[in-house]
Amino acid sequence: NDRKTGADYEVDEETHKYVKLGYDSAAVEFYLTPNTANYAGASAFTLETNTYLYNHTFTLVITRREAAKSAAIQVMSEGFQYIDVIYKDANGYVWVIENARLSQDDENSGTAKADNSSYNLTFTAESSHKLYELPVAIYDTIKDFVPTPPGE
């Protein structure tokens, strides 16, 4: 979702969790193969503002190249727009990378059926804080905007 077009949110700075997060438009959700996504966060002190700046990088592999996936990725990359990346980690915690941009988009097509035919995406963002956790109850309400894939 594009953060600049209607994210309604509130964060509890003490618990470092969202209290409210909602959108006025539909989200796009990708179901990922296990162990195909990675988050990396780094901080650096900036002398100009006398504060820490946090750099967030989220990389993922979306398997099986298909027209619908290509179209969704194209929309994310148009105009270098800001989007929120919401993901659930291996421990079941949900995190939000605010105002991320799709900074790299690679496609691969193998020559054999067993070869990797996929998209490799990298999202990057900068913020004045570490990632905020999104309670699962709020995450479940956001997922209501997303069409359920066949067989789910």
What does the pLDDT average to over 51-62?
Answer: 92
DSSP tag of 135: -
For residue 136, what are its two tokens?
Answer: 């699962």
Please say whether the beta carbons of 137 and 84 come within 8 A. Answer: no
Task: Give the pLDDT confidence of 4-41 residue by residue, as tens digits.
Answer: 444 677 888 888 888 877 665 556 666 677 788 899 99
| Beta bridge pairs of residue 58 | 39, 123
CB-CB contact of 129 with 87 (8 Å) = no
- 144 Cβ partners below 8 Å, 6+ apart? none
* Measured CA angle at 83 (ends 80, 87), to 5 deg: 135
pTM, 2 dp: 0.78
Q: Average pLDDT for residues 104-133, to the nearest whole number? A: 85
**pLDDT digits over 109-120, tens only?**
877 766 678 889
